[in-house]
Chains A and B, each alone.
Chain A
């Protein structure tokens, strides 16, 4: 039944955890719509035939207008139906809005007219996003120029990618395979050429290629990797790159990585935790919040801290922003008590920069 509907409606394969549920609602809405249209067409046809003009009906006494109950009943009935669709739709929408914890985070940078993907181990790929099947993948996305929209039809996901802020979307791929990515927001000359693909690998294949860090230079898949510019040809993890950026850009003058109180909130155990704000509300420190705080620091100030941070809009590149977020994320479970070493599960010890003014300062 599912397969029949899917083919009748030309829908792409259902390759993510969302697809099947979303499609079920799709079938219900379309079937109800078709029945409604058919009923209206049938009623029009019947009335036209039954009351076609003839000498007998040319002049007739007026038909009494509908009573209020007759007017309201169908309206109310439809409202119930539509609100029913809406309830299911909003539940699914909520599911998509809330990213499950503990997934794999990949940073997406869009530019006219290309997608690039940064992985925690420091790898970068263009056009092709590699993900493991059966695992939550969260994408933290930003754009270097205009608005783009990340769309994978087979996953039934789409999210605008907006310059100056980070938006996120998540999915879990069901089966290994290759699925097209389209840019869905018009972005200029080669908008229709801004396509890519998601390659879903089995978890072991994925781990083989994207979770070995740091990898030996000259390995089989080094073409995928980006080397540290000016470095020694060695692939470094994204979090390590973030630590360098933090030092170079002066972040560590106020923030600490190990929980030590200082001028600004520490980054240890920040990611994924609730942050109390100066205005009394709270916010969860996710990629979007962290990016916003770099670009517009006064928008949501951590309670108890003086709003002294300058904006980094136009100073940090999207790649640097992603690296910083990844650094903060790698510290999500860091022990708070100094002087424990900065180690978190799965990531190597962070090569903390030797000098805070490390020569790359702006």
Chain B
């Protein structure tokens, strides 16, 4: 029932017997224009999938270039100038164009209405606007490439960013616009969860992915404006020399760091919370079991979202911070670690007395839990103020946040991609192929980032183009791991593109999951559900018939 042309009885009647009746799913019907101007959350999600995948590809290419450069202690394939510009764009593209938007805009957009039995999100036009604002922001950011690149790092630290002779303003403005897209999505999700839940869907019956999206949206709406403001001030300082942050003009460079991390630390939770939501869904579906504690997972998401606002100072332990500040920011960071650990316990115990199977999404669950625990524990380590002094701004920190961002968010993203692939496109991917790809990703990941912990211990600072020769063999190991990781990602891409074109048709609910999105057809019709859905059971009631 996508377009009038297909819903008219004549239209259906005109194509008898040649093929099965045209599927009335959201993917079919209408031309390019109907996609570009769609207000259907599912089509917007698919467009976001395309756009964020391109961003992932671009960011990944930058990463490979960096790892290639670091194969030798001196110059390898590029100049120091090119290296600085490459790591800046790697960070900017990965964080602002992939990690922050990917799971909410792709899987959140697609699944949130389905999971709460709604027809669409609360503001479909705003949703489409969010997509075009994202494209605009990305385009503005990437104009810096044409302008010769920007080299201030994704952290924009002043006064370097206000004096650097590169295209900093383009990136600052692009990220500002990307932030707007993020706020639009956040507002939309909050209102949708509050107002669009179907009959019988009380808060404690929301699938856990919805809880995590809700917590994420709160952070997006409250924190992103601070980033936007700070970056705008950097641009203003740069263009007109106002002197808000530049000490040469009487400004305060540490003020910028506080403002920047007030957003950018919670942004880590914007990136990881939706991933945790995905993982909660996957572990329940593949162990056919309710979560060991629904309450623990739901409330710890909110706990992370709220306490996460009060930990930003742990990025400034060596920037000159009073003992009291250092102590308070340290202990609050420990609280976040406890909330995260509660989730890990709950996921692990969810397997207990379940019926565990090992399809690709579940493999990614294992990788996620293992790597996230590793990343989380090293987070506790760097939140310990005296230890942070040695690790701060070294490869230890690089490895720590890649364990969270890649080991955590990216593996969860891949879990989601495989888990909901049948839901999105009504086709199955090849399980054996995907398993091989998944194991390759895991091996490549571990090999890339474990040596970086050791490099950090040994004292190699981050953002180093050249390094003392004794660090070389660990760097070579890390670069080797990166190429395996890239091969795994490529295998995944090939497998999924093949499945999209030629994969076998999927059942409505191939995994036997109980969350409500599987109650609609796969792929879902434009209206999502036939008539209004009435919820009479919980999302993880595996003992009840579907």
Chain A interfacial positions (CB closer than 8 Å to B): 9-12, 22, 25-26, 29-30, 32-33, 36-37, 40-41, 43-44, 47-48, 51-54, 57-63, 65-66, 70-71, 74-75, 78-79, 82-83, 85-86, 88-97, 145-147, 149, 151, 153-154, 156-160, 162-165, 167, 180, 182-193, 195, 311, 313-314
Q: Are A60 and B164 in contact (CB under 8 A)?
A: no
Nearest CB in chain B: distance from A283 CB, A: 12
Q: Which of B428-436, B459-467, B490-498 contacts its partner?
A: B459-467
Question: In the complex, A191 Cα to B160 Cα: how many Å?
Answer: 12
Q: Among the listed A10, A41, A86, A192, which residue makes an inter-chain contact with B465, where contact means beta carbons less than 8 Å apart? A: A192
Q: Are A160 and B384 in contact (CB under 8 A)?
A: no
Question: In the complex, A147 Cα to B458 Cα: how many Å?
Answer: 23
Q: Are A314 and B342 in contact (CB under 8 A)?
A: no
Q: Give chain B interface residues in 352-393, CB to chain A under 8 Å.
A: 352-358, 366, 369-370, 373-374, 377-378, 380-381, 383-387, 389-390, 392-393
Q: Are B390 and A63 in contact (CB under 8 A)?
A: no
For residue A32, which residues in chain B have a CB less than 8 angstroms away from its CB?
Answer: 377
Q: Are A71 and B296 in contact (CB under 8 A)?
A: yes
Q: Which of B23-31, B343-351, B410-418, B524-532 contacts its partner?
A: B343-351
Cβ of B318 under 8 Å from chain A: yes
Binding site secondary structure of chain B: helix
When C-beta atoms are compared, the residue in chain B nearest to A89 turns out to be: B384
Q: Among the listed A33, A51, A164, A311, which residue makes an inter-chain contact with B354, where contact means beta carbons less than 8 Å apart? A: A51
What 13 additional pairs, Cβ within 8 angstroms, besides A53-B356, A146-B159? A22-B387, A33-B381, A52-B356, A59-B288, A62-B290, A63-B289, A65-B291, A83-B331, A86-B385, A90-B323, A151-B459, A163-B247, A182-B461
For residue A314, which residues in chain B have a CB less than 8 angstroms away from its CB?
Answer: 248
Q: Are B377 and A51 in contact (CB under 8 A)?
A: no
Give the residue among B151, B378, B393 with the most A Cβ atoms within 10 A.
B393
Cβ of B226 under 8 Å from chain A: no
Question: In the complex, A213 Cα to B317 Cα: how many Å?
Answer: 38
A to B CB contacts below 8 Å, 11 in the list: A9-B457, A29-B387, A40-B370, A52-B355, A62-B542, A65-B295, A85-B334, A85-B381, A90-B386, A147-B253, A186-B84
Question: In the complex, A97 Cα to B389 Cα: how many Å?
Answer: 11
When C-beta atoms are compared, the residue in chain B nearest to A55 turns out to be: B355
Question: In the complex, A83 Cα to B383 Cα: how many Å?
Answer: 11
Question: In the complex, A184 Cα to B344 Cα: how many Å?
Answer: 33
Cβ of B468 under 8 Å from chain A: yes
Q: Among the listed A37, A54, A58, A89, which residue makes an inter-chain contact with B374, where contact means beta carbons less than 8 Å apart? A: A37
Q: Are B318 and A160 in contact (CB under 8 A)?
A: yes
Cβ of B287 under 8 Å from chain A: yes
Q: Among the listed B330, B355, B370, B461, which residue makes an inter-chain contact with A183, where contact means beta carbons less than 8 Å apart? A: B461
Cβ of B137 under 8 Å from chain A: no
When C-beta atoms are compared, the residue in chain A nearest to B474 turns out to be: A10
When C-beta atoms are compared, the residue in chain A nearest to B83 turns out to be: A192
When C-beta atoms are compared, the residue in chain A nearest to B512 turns out to be: A58
Nearest CB in chain B: distance from A49 CB, A: 9
Q: Are A10 and B457 in contact (CB under 8 A)?
A: yes
When C-beta atoms are compared, the residue in chain B nearest to A188 turns out to be: B160
Cβ of B4 under 8 Å from chain A: no
Q: Are A33 and B459 in contact (CB under 8 A)?
A: no
Cβ of B3 under 8 Å from chain A: no
